[in-house]
């Protein structure tokens, strides 16, 4: 018979750190604060098992925790100080919420003896994060830490996953308590019933133009393999929701493109004309439905099967014909061997794939024709991506923040399968660099490339210091067009030639990269990119330091299909 040793008295900070070990945490991203010194001290005995990644800004740290979770499937853990730390971190908490990413956030709090006086840096986190976290709580008693932390991990990882915030009053962290640790959390996932699966089979058998849409979180490699078997068994066309493009190998003959901003018009038409959409995993939100236009609200014209991990998500906006609450591994395993005897749609997969491949060819601004010269001649961004395709490993992790530059990755880079894309559907600028840093230090064997705009890059460029400190070696490609180009695009379209608030005077980005002990290069012409990329690859692999390649982008190259001048003149 084994006996559990009687618990000994420990300070709250130690109980928190011990709880992290119980829940299998190996990495904490954070910026320290005096408000939670006792937790840092509690982590000291665990320092060989739990790495505290010291970041340079809480926004960067929060994005790193989000990227870590996306990359590993484990909850990201974030620690920040009260008030200013929490407010900085909020961008990443919001992103994790919109993307349904499991995250547990620990925030320092003023002591319970001062609370509700608007003491130094005091914020009521329940109110502050009420709308952007799955659950927010404050642990007022050290003896309840094991319960609260277990609850937090449970909520973050079950159903529709998301961020959970725990506030830690300072006096609670130094109070002694004699309590046993909890056991490790175990995520709860629903699965489809036999009648639901039979309905799905019947709907598929009756369909003429079905289409699969994959999205959301909670996927595993096994689940993606199972879905591929289902797709191959039934020769189904597969699309991925905006910024979940890595759920299905883009090189597979059944992959037909991504659904979201900048969608291929042919794909958009295909979704509208399909008679059955099977959405596995995505929230059917604004980004995934091209602004609620692909499916009519609340009852789509197409038959709709919506499968999601969270029951609350089903029936939000759309009344699907069949709603199934299921974890992704569970539904994928159930569909793996489902085979429907129908060849009604076999021909359209080839057609849809051909339309996807045509969408990937050299776009209008660069392609000169007999009667028209190329609109932009200097640096061809399409060629830049072709060079990346030729040079980089297929499983390269591509990260990006927000801006028009991201189109060059989303549309032209072939994501090769699960965990090759790190990006947010919340459209947060500044995500790409910290995500690349988190990826580079979490999976040092992988190659990591960040696509960043000049605006986007400087929102969290300082996290290159974190990369350098932990031997992380991402390659960052900065698309320097001297402006917040996306906003300028909208500005020229709505208010032609009245430029205000969108122009940027920039530093030398290559030198900025070098300042962190990294590699820096400028690329002004198409043919310079290949050599710069090869040099960056050699440097990052050899020196384990980051690289920055600055592309001098012609401001006219505002999207793959139009120029700034064309936008400006369209309305005049």
Ligand X SMILES: Cc1ncc(C[n+]2csc(CCOP(=O)(O)OP(=O)(O)O)c2C)c(N)n1
| Shortest Å distance, C-beta 488 to ligand X | 7
Of 36, 34, 33, 4, give the one whose Cα is nearest residue 20. Answer: 36
Q: Which of Mg ion, ligand X, none does residue 22 bind to, with CB < 5 to 8 Å depending on kind? A: none
Q: Which of Mg ion, ligand X, none does residue 427 bind to, with CB < 5 to 8 Å depending on kind? A: ligand X
| Shortest Å distance, C-beta 129 to Mg ion | 31
Burial of 257 per CB tally in 10 Å (0-12, 13-18, 19+): buried
CA 245 vs CA 105, 209, 265, 399, 415: distances in Å: 27, 22, 17, 12, 7
Helices 265-273 and 346-359: angle between axes, nearest 10 degrees = 160
CA 153 vs CA 101, 135, 161, 499: distances in Å: 12, 10, 10, 48
- State which residue, 99 or 454, has the beta carbon closest to ligand X: 454
- State which residue, 416 or 478, has the beta carbon closest to Mg ion: 478
Q: Which of Mg ion, ligand X, none does residue 18 bind to, with CB < 5 to 8 Å depending on kind? A: none
Cβ pair 258, 407 in contact under 8 A: no
| Shortest Å distance, C-beta 387 to ligand X | 19
- State which residue, 46 or 488, has the beta carbon closest to ligand X: 488
- State which residue, 342 or 556, has the beta carbon closest to ligand X: 556
Half-sphere exposure of 147 (CA within 13 A, CB side): 9
Q: Indicate the length of the chain as a whole number.
A: 572
- State which residue, 257 or 427, has the beta carbon closest to ligand X: 427
CA 320 vs CA 205, 299, 316, 513: distances in Å: 18, 7, 10, 49
Task: Kindly list the residues in this chain that would bind ligand X in the complex (CB under 6 A).
Answer: 402-405, 427-430, 453-456, 479, 481, 483-487
Q: Which of Mg ion, ligand X, none does residue 404 bind to, with CB < 5 to 8 Å depending on kind? A: ligand X
Q: Report the DSSP pairing between strands 163-169 and 135-138.
A: parallel
Q: Is the peptide bond before 145 cis (omega within 30 degrees of 0)?
A: no
- State which residue, 158 or 404, has the beta carbon closest to ligand X: 404
Of 561, 244, 566, 249, give the one whose Cα is nearest residue 408. Answer: 561
| Shortest Å distance, C-beta 62 to ligand X | 12
Q: Which of ligand X, Mg ion, none does residue 216 bind to, with CB < 5 to 8 Å depending on kind? A: none
| Shortest Å distance, C-beta 410 to ligand X | 12
Q: Which of ligand X, Mg ion, none does residue 75 bind to, with CB < 5 to 8 Å depending on kind? A: none
Residue 106 bridge partners (DSSP): 79, 166
| Shortest Å distance, C-beta 456 to ligand X | 3
Q: Which of ligand X, Mg ion, none does residue 429 bind to, with CB < 5 to 8 Å depending on kind? A: ligand X
| Shortest Å distance, C-beta 452 to ligand X | 7
| Shortest Å distance, C-beta 480 to ligand X | 8
Burial of 173-209, coded b for 16+ CB within 10 Å and e otherwise, reads bbbebebebbeebebebbebeeebbebbeebbeebeb
- State which residue, 210 or 453, has the beta carbon closest to ligand X: 453
Task: Kindly list the residues in this chain that would bind Mg ion in the complex (CB under 5 A).
Answer: 453-455, 481, 485
| Shortest Å distance, C-beta 267 to ligand X | 23
Q: Which of Mg ion, ligand X, none does residue 456 bind to, with CB < 5 to 8 Å depending on kind? A: ligand X
Tokens encoding 221: 């490699």
- CA–CA separation, 319 vs 292, rounded Å? 13
Q: Which of ligand X, Mg ion, none does residue 486 bind to, with CB < 5 to 8 Å depending on kind? A: ligand X
- State which residue, 135 or 509, has the beta carbon closest to ligand X: 509
- CA–CA separation, 342 vs 349, rounded Å? 14
- State which residue, 172 or 523, has the beta carbon closest to ligand X: 523
- CA–CA separation, 439 vs 429, rounded Å? 18
> Would you give the end-to-end CA distance of the chain in angstroms?
85
């Amino acid at each position: 018979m084994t006996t559990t040793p009687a618990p000994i008295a420990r300070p709250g900070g130690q109980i928190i750190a011990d709880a992290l070990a119980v829940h299998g945490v190996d990495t904490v991203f954070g910026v320290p604060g005096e408000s939670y010194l006792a937790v840092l001290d509690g982590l000291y005995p665990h320092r060989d098992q739990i790495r505290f990644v010291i970041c340079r800004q809480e926004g960067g740290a929060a994005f790193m925790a989000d990227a870590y979770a996306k990359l590993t499937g484990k909850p990201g853990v974030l620690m920040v100080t009260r008030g200013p730390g929490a407010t900085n971190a909020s961008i990443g908490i919001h992103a994790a919420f919109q993307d349904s990413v499991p995250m547990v956030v620990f925030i320092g709090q003023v002591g319970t003896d001062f609370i509700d006086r608007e003491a130094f840096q005091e914020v009521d986190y329940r109110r502050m994060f009420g709308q952007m976290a799955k659950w927010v709580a404050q642990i007022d008693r050290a003896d309840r830490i094991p319960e609260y932390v277990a609850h937090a991990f449970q909520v973050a990882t079950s159903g529709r996953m998301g961020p959970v915030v725990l506030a830690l009053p300072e006096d609670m962290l130094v109070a002694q308590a004699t309590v046993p640790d909890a056991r490790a959390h175990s995520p709860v996932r629903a699965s489809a019933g036999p009648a639901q699966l039979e309905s799905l089979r019947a709907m598929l058998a009756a369909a003429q133009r079905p289409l699969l849409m994959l999205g959301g979180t909670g996927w595993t490699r096994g689940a993606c393999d199972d879905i591929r078997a289902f797709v191959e068994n039934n020769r189904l066309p597969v699309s991925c929701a905006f910024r979940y493009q890595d759920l299905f190998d883009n090189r597979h003959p059944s992959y037909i493109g991504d659904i979201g901003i900048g969608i291929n018009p042919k794909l958009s038409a295909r979704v509208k004309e399909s008679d059955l959409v099977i959405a596995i995993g995505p929230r059917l939100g604004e980004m995934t439905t091209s602004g609620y236009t692909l499916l009519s609200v609340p009852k789509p014209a197409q038959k709709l099967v919506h499968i999601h991990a969270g029951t609350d998500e089903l029936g939000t906006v759309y009344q699907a014909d069949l709603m199934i609450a299921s974890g992704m591994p569970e539904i994928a395993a159930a569909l793996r061997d489902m085979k429907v005897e129908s060849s009604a749609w076999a021909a359209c997969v080839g057609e849809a794939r051909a339309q996807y491949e045509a969408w990937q060819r050299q776009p209008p601004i660069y392609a000169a024709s007999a009667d028209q010269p190329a609109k932009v001649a200097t640096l061809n961004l399409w060629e830049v991506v072709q060079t990346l395709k030729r040079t980089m490993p297929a499983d390269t992790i591509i990260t990006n923040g927000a801006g028009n530059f991201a189109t060059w990755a989303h549309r032209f880079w072939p994501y090769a399968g699960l965990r090759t894309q790190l990006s947010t559907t919340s459209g947060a600028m500044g995500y790409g660099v910290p995500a690349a840093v988190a990826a580079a230090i979490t999976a040092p064997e992988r190659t990591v490339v960040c696509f960043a705009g000049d605006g986007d890059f400087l929102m969290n460029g300082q996290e290159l210091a974190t990369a350098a400190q932990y031997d992380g070696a991402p390659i960052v490609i900065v698309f320097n067009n001297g402006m917040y180009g996306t906003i300028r695009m909208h500005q020229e379209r709505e208010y032609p030639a009245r430029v205000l608030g969108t122009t940027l005077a920039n530093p030398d980005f290559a030198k900025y990269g070098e300042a962190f002990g990294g590699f820096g290069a400028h690329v002004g012409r198409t043919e310079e990119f290949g050599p710069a990329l090869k040099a960056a690859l050699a440097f990052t692999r050899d020196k384990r330091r980051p690289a920055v390649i600055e592309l001098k982008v012609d401001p006219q190259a505002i999207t793959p299909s139009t120029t700034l001048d064309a936008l400006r003149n369209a309305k005049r």
